[in-house]
Structure 1
Amino acid sequence: MKDFKFPGINLAISTPFDGNGKPDHARLEQLIERYLAVGIRGFVLSSGTGMHVYLSQEESKALVAFGAKVIGGRAKIIAQTSALLVDDVVERTRHAADCGVDGVMVLPPFFEGPTDDDGVFEFYAAVARGGLPIIGYNVPQAVGVEITPSLLRRLCEIPEFLAVKDSSGDLAKQAALVRTGLPMMNGADALVPYALYAGVSGLIWGGANFAPKTCLEFVGAAQAHKWDDAREIWRLLEPAMSLIWEGDYVQSVYAAADMTGYGAGNPRRPLSRLSAKKIDVLQSALGELVERERRAV
């Protein structure tokens, strides 16, 4: 078994933007310090929740470098280094390594890339030249490529390939990945309790941006097998975690985090703020989490 470095919550931290829509590093530093203060010990920089796809390569690299410097060894760091060109993924991964990042998360080939297992394997084998542990990213509904149990077994033959993050949202398929006995991380907010019960190795959690304290309490109870306590805490989290998974995910995380005191500004265009009607629905779903989390800020 490869050494797995990323148990528990790895926060897919939102990227703050200023009033002109530019990455706001000062605000990012403030957020990182707040999350560290409540106990977050794993971060994903330039994540999907952090709008990786809407950052230029230079913006993403600058974000990774700055975030890693702020964290300064106080938490594990995963950086997303996904790109259309393999050479760009390798270059971004080497940059992340130079910044002291512990591992990278990489989408399989997308946008008319290879969809057969051989093509996906060759892609990740090439990415391994970047020199960091690789977490594959299973989100077939978005990229059209699925990492199946048989493909995961094959990918883990690559020395640098550590695990797969499953954001399919399909509990049965995720359970099949867990049954391989290989490291697997959950990336579907609404499935967190079921994933932990099934035995996932770790979590990459975007929704934890708006409820880090409560999410940590929940995971702590689950890891201690205090399932009655975990169920009670999940009852607070479930309405919002299920709602954001239904659509407008990134915009909803930004809006919810603003309500609970972990605001990162507005999402970057082409995404826009939630409508007033959706804000009201989200506020209702958050319930007592707003006050509960603000007490921790």
Structure 2
Amino acid sequence: MKDFSFTGINLAISTPFDENGKPDHGRLEQLIERYLAAGIRGFVLSSGTGMHVYLSQEESKALVAFGAKVINGRARIIAQTSALLVDDVVERTRHAADSGAGAVMVLPPFFEGPTDDDGVFEFYGAVARAGLPIIGYNVPQAVGVEITPPLLRRLHEIPEFLAVKDSSGDLSKQAALVRTGLPMMNGADPLMPYAMYAGVRGLIWGGANFAPKTCTQFVTAAQEHRWDDAREIWRVLEPAMSLIWEGDYVQSVYAAAEMTGYGAGNPRRPLARLSAKKADALRSALGDLVEREKLAV
């Protein structure tokens, strides 16, 4: 079994933007420090929740380098290095390694890329040239390529292929991936308790941006098999974690984080602020989380 060191929460941290829509490194540093103080010990830089697809290659690389410098060994670092061109993925991955990332998260080929297992295998084999552990990203509803249990077993023949993050949101399919016995990470917010009970090895969690203390408490209880405690904490988290999954995910995370005091500003265009109607529904779903995040230690 390959060494897996990304247990617990790996926060898919939102990218802060300034009033001109540019990445705000100063605000990012403040957020990282607050999340570290809240107990977060793993970060995903340039994540999907961090609007990776709406960052230029240079912006993404600068974000990874700056974030890693701020973290400075105090937490695990995963960098997303997904791109359309394989050579770009390899270049971004080498840059992530040079910056201090411990692994990279990479989407399979997308936008008219190969969808057969051979093509996906060859793609990840090419990315492996960069020499950094790879976390595959299973989100078939977005990219049209699914990492199935047989493909996952094959991908683990690549020495650098470490695990897969499943964001399909399909519990039965995720359970089938878990049953392979290979390292699995859950990326679907509403499935967190079920995934942990099923035996996922780690979590990549966007919703933890707006409730890092409560999410950390929940994960600690689940890891210690204090399931009654975990269930009670999940009852507080579940309304918001389910609501954000229903649509406008990134905008909802940014809005919820503003409400609970971990604001990263507005999402970058073409995404807009959450509508007033949806913001009201989100505020209601957060319930006691706003006060809980202020008081939790």
Q: The TM-score by the shorter chain falls in which range?
A: over 0.9
% identical aligned pairs:
89
- 1:48 is paired with a residue whose SS is coil
- How far residue 131 of structure 1 moved from its aligned partner, in angstroms, is 1.1
After TM superposition, the structure 1 stretch with the greater mean CA deviation from structure 2, 20-29 or 285-294, is 285-294
Aligned to 2:290: 290
**Aligned match of 1:250:** 250
Q: Residue 272 of structure 1: SS of its match in structure 2? A: coil
Q: 2:156 is matched by which residue type in structure 1?
A: C
Q: 2:95 is matched with which residue?
A: 95
In 1, distance between residues paired with 2:151 and 2:84? Answer: 21
3-state SS of 2:200 partner = coil
Secondary structure, aligned partner of 1:270: coil
Asked if residue 48 in structure 1 is aligned to residue 48 in structure 2, the reply is yes
1:279 maps to 279
Partner of 1:142: 142
Q: Distance in 1 between matches of 2:208 and 2:7?
A: 15
Q: Using the TM superposition, give the Cα deviation of residue 296 of structure 1 relative to its aligned residue in structure 2, in angstroms.
A: 5.0
Shift of 1:176: 0.1
Give the whole-Å Cα distance in 2 for the aligned partners of 1:210 and 1:204.
14
Write the distance in 2 (CA, Å) between the matches of 1:111 and 1:296.
43
Q: Aligned residue for 1:234? A: 234
Query: What is the TM-score normalised by the length of structure 2?
Result: 0.99
Alignment-derived partner of residue 197 in structure 1: 197
- Aligned mates of 2:13, 2:40 — CA distance in 1: 11
- SS of the aligned residue for 2:43 comes to strand
**Which position in structure 1 is the counterpart of 2:25?**
25
1:294, distance to aligned residue in structure 2 (A): 2.5
With the length of structure 1 as denominator, give the TM-score of the two structures: 0.99
1:27-49 deviation per Cα after TM superposition (whole angstroms, max 9, x unaligned): 00000000000110000000000
Q: Which amino acid aligns with 1:216?
A: T
Q: Contact 2:153 / 2:180 at 8 angstroms: preserved in 1? A: yes
Counterpart CA distance in 2 for 1:292 and 1:238 is 14
Aligned-partner residue type, residue 231 of structure 2:
R
> Take 1:220 and 1:294, find their aligned partners in 2: how far apart are those partners?
19
Q: For 2:13 and 2:234, locate their aligned partners in 1 and report how far apart those are by CA, in whole Å.
A: 21
Gaps of 5+ in 2: none
Moved over 4 A (4+): none
For 1:157, what is the secondary structure of its paired residue? coil
Q: For residues 18 and 11 of structure 1, what CA distance do their matches in structure 2 show?
A: 21
Is 1:70 matched up with 2:70?
Answer: yes
1:187 alignment counterpart: 187
Q: Distance in 2 between matches of 1:43 and 1:180?
A: 26
**What SS does structure 1 have at the residue aligned with 2:113?**
coil
The letter of the residue matching 1:152 is L
Task: Classify the secondary structure of the residue corresponding to 1:185.
Answer: strand
The residue type paired with residue 75 of structure 1 is A
1:101-120 alignment, distance < 5 Å? 101-120=101-120
Question: 2: CA distance between counterparts of 1:130 and 1:262?
Answer: 34
Amino acid at match of 1:247: G
Deviations, residues 192-211 of structure 1 (Å, cap 9, x unaligned)? 00000000000000000000
Q: Partners of 2:212 and 2:127 in 1: how far apart?
A: 32
1:121-173 Cα distance to aligned partner (Å, 9 max, x none)? 00000000111000000000000000000000000010000000000000000
Distance 2:98 2:136 in 1: 21
- Counterpart AA for 1:62: A
* Distance (Å, rounded) in 2 between the aligned partners of 1:138 and 1:58: 25
Q: Is the contact between residue 214 and residue 296 of structure 2 (CA under 8 Å) also seen in structure 1?
A: no
Q: What's the C-alpha RMSD, in Å, of the aligned pairs?
A: 0.7
Q: Partners of 2:105 and 2:66 in 1: how far apart? A: 18
- Tell me, in whole angstroms, the C-alpha distance in 1 between the residues paired with 2:296 and 2:279: 22
Paired positions, count: 297
On the 8 A contact 2:76/2:102 being kept in 1, the answer is yes
Cα distance in 1 between the residues matched to 2:172 and 2:211:
27
* Aligned partner letter, 2:294: R
Aligned to 2:211: 211
